[in-house]
Amino acid sequence: MITIDLRDKRPIYLQVIEGIEDLTIKGVLKPEEQLPSVRSLAMELSINPNTIQRAYLELEKRGTIYSIKGKGSFISENNQALAAVKKEELFTSLGDIVNEAKLLNISKEEFLDKIIAIYDKDKEGADK
Amino acid sequence: MITIDLRDKRPIYLQVIEGIEDLTIKGVLKPEEQLPSVRSLAMELSINPNTIQRAYLELEKRGTIYSIKGKGSFISENNQALAAVKKEELFTSLGDIVNEAKLLNISKEEFLDKIIAIYDKDKEGADK
DNA sequence: ATAACTGTACTAAGATTCTTAGTACAGTTA
DNA sequence: TAACTGTACTAAGAATCTTAGTACAGTTAT
């Protein structure tokens, strides 16, 4: 379901959050679908249940999931809002990168060319 | 010279490194130019000298500056390599963002339009 | 030589964050 | 009742960042 990279500098609970949200956006996890329990996911990923609990708590705050005591945790309906939030975050990061590009005297044209190259690079991979 | 944001989650020594490198790339700090001493910069930024020492040590490892015991720390000659390294780092980050954009079903066209908008937005600001 | 500066190298302690371990309790379901 | 759910704690360990203090070696101007 999710993979954790212990060499990653980012904390585990953030990796779990990102993993769940990515699967939700991809449609692998559908609205109202039940998530693994805190304990079972912890077992599966070989990490502490408290860490999963923290991730689920944050996911609930963000509105990605909702939890019911005794029943379980479930994907929320409003995945549209989730995608919008992630899109907003992405454009913020993009703004930072553009500013850095300006500092490095990278022209708009060079920048756009690079993006097109990156975009098209994976098309080859998809064909393989 | 440099500004430190204590609310920033990024460690202070990294902010110092980035500050020095940005000034070097901008040309504000020129090759062979002497940097503030460890102690004076610490005083100026109201942080501990050890933190500046750590930043300078890292900057020396990266080849951005060089230090001579008893004399001081100076900007290196090879700023070209520095810009190249930063450019490489930038394109790596850009690759990550493009992948995220694909996940969010953002088309290449929308992505490019957004970048053009960001690039041109600051032109207005520059005219003011 | 002396004083005042430079970089450099330590140790120690505090603060913060992340993670684990363990326990406990309330609600649900078969 | 048993076995599962979420939830809420406390405590401790690990890692990282920062500060504080001390010390030593090299440079420079007086």
Nearest one of B52, B43, B66 to B19, comparing CA atoms: B52
What's the gap in Å between the CA of B64 and the closest CA on chain A? 15
Q: How confident is the model at residue A123 (pLDDT cuts 50, 70, 90)?
A: low
pLDDT at residue A124 tops 90: no
For chain A, give the secondary structure using H, E and C: CCCCCCCCCCCHHHHHHHHHHHHHHHCCCCCCCECCCHHHHHHHHCCCHHHHHHHHHHHHHCCCEEEECCCEEEECCCHHHHHHHHHHHHHHHHHHHHHHHHHCCCCHHHHHHHHHHHHHHHHHHHHC
Tell me the CA end-to-end span of chain B in Å, nearest whole number: 24
Hey, what amino acid is at B91?
A: F
Residues 6+ apart with CB under 8 A from A64: A17, A20, A21, A24, A75, A76, A82
Instruction: Give me the mean pLDDT over the A103-117 stretch.
Output: 93
Q: What percent of chain B has pLDDT over 90?
A: 87
A12-46: per-residue pLDDT in tens?
999 999 999 999 999 999 999 999 999 999 999 99
Listed by number, the residues of chain B in 45-104 with a beta carbon closer than 8 Å to a beta carbon of chain A are 83, 86-87, 90-91, 93-95, 97-98, 100-104
**B119 exposure class (CB count in 10 Å sphere: 0-12, 13-18, 19+):** middle
Give, as ranges, the nucleotides of chain C with any atom within 7 Å of a protein CB. 5-11, 17-22, 26-29
Hey, what amino acid is at A108?
A: K
What integer pLDDT is reported at residue B120 of this predicted model?
86
Q: How confident is the model at residue B124 (pLDDT cuts 50, 70, 90)?
A: low
Give the integer Cα–Cα distance in Å for B61 and B13.
14
Interatomic distance B11 CA / D16 C1' (Å): 9
B81-94: per-residue pLDDT in tens?
899 999 999 999 99
Q: In whole angstroms, what separates CA A53 from the centre of its chain?
A: 17
Q: How confident is the model at residue B79 (pLDDT cuts 50, 70, 90)?
A: confident
Q: How many helices (H) and strands (E) does chain B have?
A: 5, 2
What's the gap in Å between the CA of B51 and the closest CA on chain A? 21
* Contact yes or no for B119 and A103 at CB 8 A: no
What integer pLDDT is reported at residue A128 of this predicted model?
36
pLDDT at residue B121 tops 90: no
What integer pLDDT is reported at residue B81 of this predicted model?
85
Sort out which chain A residues have CB atoms less than 8 A from B83's CB and list them: 104-105
Neighbours of A6 (CB within 10 A): 8
Q: Are A4 and A15 in contact (CB under 8 A)?
A: yes
Residues 68-87 of B with CB under 7 A from strand C: 68-73
pLDDT at residue B9 tops 70: yes
pLDDT at residue A126 tops 70: no
Instruction: Enter the tokens of residue A22.
Output: 């990515």
Average pLDDT, chain B: 93
Instruction: Give me the mean pLDDT over the B20-33 stretch.
Output: 96
Instruction: Give me the mean pLDDT over the A1-19 stretch.
Output: 96
* Contact yes or no for B90 and A112 at CB 8 A: no
More confidently predicted of A8 and A125: A8
Give, as ranges, the nucleotides of chain D with any atom within 7 Å of a protein CB. 4-10, 16-21, 25-28
Q: Is the CB of B60 under 7 A from strand C?
A: yes
What integer pLDDT is reported at residue B23 of this predicted model?
96
A47-69: per-residue pLDDT in tens?
999 999 999 999 999 999 999 99
A84-103: per-residue pLDDT in tens?
999 999 999 999 999 999 99
Q: Which of B105, B111, B121, B122 to mutate to test the interface with A (most CBs of A within 10 A)?
A: B111
